[in-house]
Amino acid sequence: MAWDSFKRIRFRKKKEMPGGLWLRCPDCTAMVYRDAVTELLQVCPECNYHFEISLDERIACLLDEESFEEIETGLSSADPLEFVAVKRYADRLVRAREVTGLEDAIRIGYGTIEGHKVVFGATASNFLRGSMGSVVGETFARAVELATRERLPFVFVSGSGGGARMDEGVLSLMQMAKTSAALARMDDAGGLFISILTNPTMGGCMASFAALGDVTLAEPKALLGFAGPTVIKNTIRADLPEGFQRSEFLLARGFLDMIVSRIEQKSTVGQLLDHCRIQAPA
Amino acid sequence: MADELEFEGPILKLQRKIEELQSFAESTEIDLSAQIEELRHRCGELQREVVDRLSPWERIQLARHPQRPRFLDYLSQVFEEPLELCGDYQSGEDPTMFTGFAKLAGRSVLVVGQRKGKNTKDRVLYNFGMSHPEGYRKALQKMRLAAKFGIPVITLIDTPGAYPGLEAEERGQAHAIARNILEMARLKTPIVCVVIGEGGSGGALGIGVGDRVLMFENSYYSVISPEGCSTILWKSGDFTEQAAEILKLTAKDLQGFGIVDEIIEEPLGGAHKSIPESSKLLREALIKHLDELCELDQEVLLEERYQKVRRIGVFYEQGRLIAAGKVVEPATSPELS
């Protein structure tokens, strides 16, 4: 392959060069040409590692062009615990809003995928690590209720290294119940939930809505699990096997329907939407 | 004494003094009953004061107290004729999670609870109260069985968390918990959940969705253990006390958030001071709530259960502060302007 010669080039001082022509894949450590990565929707051409992408990029690669109609909920996070540890939650929120330009770690809206109208949503893994507090839980529940009411398929892309947001304490934990309860009602009403898991989806998000798809897809090599690898390592006091908690690991153990590369996701989800038509109420 | 907690010091000192006076009075036949009575009264007051002032971290110590009544104590003292049911009907048997039928004041119930053990052998057998995925699957399988026959479900929660181990991940810990949460939200029978000791995160919530959620006065319920919080936020295990403080994990906190419906008072000084008394209080609370829930029409029951979890959360909506489904602060938040 043409990239082989480039693979040997090692820039030891910088892990990656934002804005540069080249970047280093965090998985296979190869130096790859940025344009080639972009062309593959932010996927490493060497090893198929899927870089984390922004919500705008996600919408662009999964939904039909210009089909996304965002639903503005007007929700924003409060600081109910007045949470102050090393940093204040209130400050962390302000900073996250500045950096991402988002109000919180979730966006929802209508859209079409291969012509099928859906309610779509996704978490932003760059907003406080995609963690779920009251706003994420509430927004998710509203999207599910909307899809149920309008008998539309619900497609949600999870990316949450943070799981339940610690800064909102047990209120965050209870969002697991809120999101799951909404999904239970959608299921009772014959709704369809396609859950797409991306790197990383952990903790309270994985142990609630993300694991509850009627059909579940994952991007290659995504870290997916309940407890973080460090916690598990400390519990069992041993090294973890290669590929532990990765998509391929979950697929082999029966917890995923399929692993789908980003570039094929739109057509695969389109196929699923074509198969699983929501039935008229009895 | 190893089981003595630091904040109990002054109370125990006073109690010892009372005992000394008593034996002195007996041996010398001098009448000290007035003084002893006075000291007893002061001791009671002091206990009440100390208990009211307990910090979250001190309450966690009570929740984890080695002598605290555990699931098996309550199983034998609250319920009649327990009949254990094993197995998740899929792949295994998790001894941590107990499931079984029992009678409560003449009524059939399904009891689900986490066993912890009081000696080293049992603690190891019950994996320190940390369930594997099989435990959650077993709980769900038995809850479905109960629902089929209209039997109410009672869950007694006492876990530091679901087991964070390699095999637990391999066998789908996250999936097992998620599935339980979803199914409990729509299970067609009344569910009462009680946190009797530790309410450790997803491990607790995996058997924790119900029509009523109760907590013992000195139990805690948290998104993460204070130890975990300290390690993540301060990069050190030395800040557990502060972590316990900021996480707002006491029964009173949860009642304030609208998550907990009732706090079960404990005997003065903690549930371990009298297991029969604690059991009696739990039994009364369970009977009261089941009596109410069993009166409800199933549709109403399920709708109220849904609204109960649906309301939980605190956020701004168009500048108004909403908490537990109600507008608490109509003023525009500065963040939105």
Taking contacts as CB-CB distances below 8 angstroms, the residues of chain A near B333 are 76, 78
DSSP per-residue letters across B164-199 = -SHHHHHTTHHHHHHHHHHHHHH-SS-EEEEEEEEE
Instruction: Check CB contact under 8 Å for A181 and B186.
Output: yes
pLDDT per residue as tens digits for the range A60-106 = 999 999 999 999 999 999 999 999 999 999 999 999 999 999 999 99
Please name the member of A141, A169, A235 whose beta carbon is closest to the beta carbon of B248.
A169
B53 — pLDDT class (breaks 50, 70, 90):
confident
- pLDDT at position A19, please? 64
3.90.226.10, 3.60.20.10, 3.20.20.140, 3.30.360.10: CATH of A54-275: 3.90.226.10
Between B64 and B23, residue with greater pLDDT: B64
Please name the member of A135, A169, A206 whose beta carbon is closest to the beta carbon of B315.
A135
DSSP 8-state symbol, A281: P
Please, what CATH class does the domain formed by B61-311 belong to?
alpha beta
List the beta bridge partners of residue B153: B110, B191
Look up the ipTM and state it: 0.92
Mean pLDDT lowest among A160-174, A179-193, B34-48: B34-48
Residue spans of the domains in chain B: they are 6-53, 61-311
The alpha-carbon gap from B183 to the nearest alpha carbon of chain A, in Å, equals 7
| Range list for CATH 3.90.226.10 in chain A | 54-275
Please name the member of A76, A81, A178 whose beta carbon is closest to the beta carbon of B313.
A178
Nearest one of A62, A83, A74 to A128, comparing CA atoms? A83
B3 — pLDDT class (breaks 50, 70, 90):
low
pTM, entire model? 0.92
pLDDT per residue as tens digits for the range A212-254 = 999 999 999 999 999 988 888 888 888 899 899 999 999 999 9
φ/ψ of residue A109, rounded to 5: 175, 180
Contact B111, B102 (CB under 8 A): yes
Share of chain A above pLDDT 90, in %: 80
What is the amino acid identity at position B37?
Answer: E
Q: Is the pLDDT of residue A117 over 90?
A: yes
Nearest CA in chain A to B166: A232
Coil/strand/helix, residue A59: helix
A3 — pLDDT class (breaks 50, 70, 90):
very low
Span B49-75, average pLDDT = 93
Share of chain A above pLDDT 70, in %: 93
**How many angstroms separate the CA atoms of B265 and B180, rounded?**
29
**How many angstroms separate the CA atoms of A19 and A27, rounded?**
20
Contact A191, A143 (CB under 8 A): no
Rounded to the nearest integer, the mean pLDDT of chain A is: 91
pLDDT per residue as tens digits for the range B272-289 = 999 999 999 999 999 999
A18 — pLDDT class (breaks 50, 70, 90):
low
